[in-house]
Amino acid sequence: MTLIAALLSLCLPPAAQAQHLPLWEAGVGMAAIHFPSYRGSAVRQDYLLPAPYVYYRGRYLQIGREDVRSMLFRSERAQFYISLGGEVPVRSQDNPLRRGMPDLDTTVEIGPTLEVALARSQRYRTDVDLRFSVAPVLATDLTQIHAAGWLFQPQLAIDSQDIAGISGLQGGLRAGPLFADQRYHQYYYGVDEVYARPDRAAYRARGGYAGSQLTVALNRRFDHVWAGGFLRWDDLDGATFIDSPLVETRSGFTAGFALSWILFESAARATDE
């Protein structure tokens, strides 16, 4: 799960539970997030930013805090859709290991996801799914766009409602490995000869295993107020780029919290068609 997806995932809403909810909702809010500059960096950043609350629960288009989905296929046991993710930019001058190197641009990932239902429990109000996502990565500084590789992420997804018998308390868990091609790893962890220095050797990254991620989230809605938070743990042990001079730590965490006020909702209701 990428940073933008993690920020959106402050809710991790179970899509299968949309029935009887408004077709769309809109509101305003704020979000705070604490995260490393990039996976493997010991330099951390803090963002406090507006967090629009936008939900759309259409049959073919779904917009929520976990992602934006364009539904291509849906059955009782599987879904196939296009989803969106990405990473925020990094200024190299703010990171001692990258100083003197080009900045890392904002990246955007748009690609297909296959979601297969493993279990549905009405008694425990819990869904268990297996997801397979693949996406090309585009990097942009808003003046130009260039390809930055490919990502593949198989993921176990568990969503629960009314946790511990508390009405409206929802929770989610995402866990799985990450894989990326050589271009993606080179973009984040490679060091070209021209940027090598005595304490930063030239490095050519390889494609393959990129570590694993575990994300947990909780949220609850109180009438027209929504609150949620998440914690993501990254483990880079065994990653093909672990010996890059730009990797400072083998693990790290990202945490976020958001509070939103729901101002508008549709009279029309969503359906689980």
Quick one: which of 105, 228, 208, 102 has its CA closest to 163?
228
Looking at residue 68, its pLDDT comes to: 64
Give the pTM. 0.87
Residue 97 has pLDDT above 90, yes or no: yes
Residues 171-182 pLDDT 10s: 999 999 999 999
Six-digit token pair at 163?
């946790």
Looking at residue 67, its pLDDT comes to: 59
Best CATH choice for the domain 3-265 from the list 1.10.287, 2.60.40, 2.40.230, 3.80.10:
2.40.230
Quick one: which of 95, 206, 187 has its CA closest to 146?
187
Confidence of residue 55 (pLDDT cuts 50, 70, 90): confident
Distance CA(128)–CA(137), nearest Å, equals: 28
Residues 212-240 pLDDT 10s: 999 999 999 888 999 999 999 999 999 99
Domain extents in the chain: 3-265
Looking at residue 210, its pLDDT comes to: 98
Q: 248-257: b or e for each residue (b if 16 or more CB lie within 10 Å)? A: beeebebebb
Residues 237-262 pLDDT 10s: 999 999 999 999 999 999 999 999 99
Six-digit token pair at 28?
């305003």
Distance CA(20)–CA(220), nearest Å, equals: 17
Residues 64-79 pLDDT 10s: 655 566 667 778 899 9
Residues 6+ positions from 128 with CB-CB distance below 8 Å: 117, 118, 119, 120, 156, 157, 158
